[in-house]
Amino acid sequence: MSDKKNLWPFLLGAAVGAGITWLFVSKEGKETLSNLKKKADEMKDDVNEWLDKKDMAQNTNSNKEST
């Protein structure tokens, strides 16, 4: 119970800090955030593509073993 009481001030402080940071982000900062988001999306797509290829290879191997 006391852990939850100690967590609320931290979460509130983090939310307030994030809000203040967002208000003062310059245009360059917004461009940087946009670029980071694009890169993160590209990395996510690359990982998903790799996982799909891995799954296809495993399915191919299991099909060969069952015949």
Contact 45, 37 (CB under 8 A): no
Instruction: Kindly list the distances between the CA atom of residue 39 and the CA atoms of 30, 33, 51, in Å, as whole numbers in the listed order.
Output: 14, 10, 18
Closest Cα to residue 28, out of 18, 36, 40, 16? 36
Question: Residue 44's pLDDT is what?
Answer: 95
Mind listing the pLDDT tens digit of every residue in the chain (67 residues)?
455 667 778 888 999 988 888 777 766 777 878 888 999 999 999 999 988 888 888 888 777 666 5
Contacts of 33 (CB under 8 A, 6+ apart): 25
Instruction: Kindly list the distances between the CA atom of residue 66 and the CA atoms of 3, 54, 57, 60, in Å, as whole numbers in the listed order.
Output: 53, 19, 14, 10
